[in-house]
Structure 1
């Protein structure tokens, strides 16, 4: 296959980002105005695929700008300012807009987003080496997970490689709502977090 010139690929990438940020497909299904949140660059080596923006992220337009983001940055040992300034880091959630709040917390990511936008955007970031699949929605979408496996099973099983040699690394959601999970699964901090930091060092090497 003939390589696409950088200027053509770059223009296609910018159009894709523009279209995502302007997307209103879910407008009628949301209780608020759509505000797609995405952070991406063609130079990205680390891709973080989470669930959907929470209320704070919806209000600020800054991904992982909350307590969940603080824990995530602790896992990968990247300071707040560097997290947003480093062009090697991309954030592409399963749902780009805040889905709203239900009786048990935030609603699930809107199902329209990933099928419509992930493939064109991820194809335009060919340097990605490590993808963090944060939470069940991302893991079920990108991994061949047995039906009877829980999130704990998936995380304990650890990372896998996709067909192009990229590492897919499953993680629990770092939300404060999951403090009980972290308390009952000390192996995560003892074993998985160091493995995650090694994988990130390799991706950035």
Structure 2
């Protein structure tokens, strides 16, 4: 493996780990300080995620593309923006980073490192929400001006925390990492497969909508 590829994979692993530490850690802190008020806890979780995601994309974008998300990496391979041979290593790095990020959050808050979530997230509303959240994320990534991608992605995820029933995971790696945290941001292992399937469907819809918009804006020949 070339040093360039190793640099990219390191960026994806570290970036995804920090993202999950932010999501899970802010959920723990928010729940502790909110005294049982889930709305306040979610607001704190949202604010931290928006800020953290913006920073991580700005920092790791030049390194690896700042995918932090297998669905994004798959779309980038389809679009020719990521080498096919890097897809599997990217996904492995993202999943590994997600798990390490969950453990890091637990370590910072002095709770059991190894956990499995018991928080069930299931039902048609949750699955539709994940389709919508992921489709919107892919559309924003593909259509945002390059200099505004970080801000627009972070803002979209912040909005989607509140307008989707699932609080917008929109990321198979996030679902995987949060499966190992029995905290505010967790998701039970039994709920993960349907979430990931919905996210993959949403990613495909986002890509198709983006391509449709590109075709509509293309000059007639």
Relative to its length, the structure with more strand (as a share) is 1
**TM-score normalised by structure 2 residue count:** 0.26
Relative to total residues, which structure has the larger helix share, 1 or 2? 2
**Larger relative contact order, structure 1 or 2 (CA cutoff 8 Å, min sep 6):** 2
TM-score by length of 1: 0.28
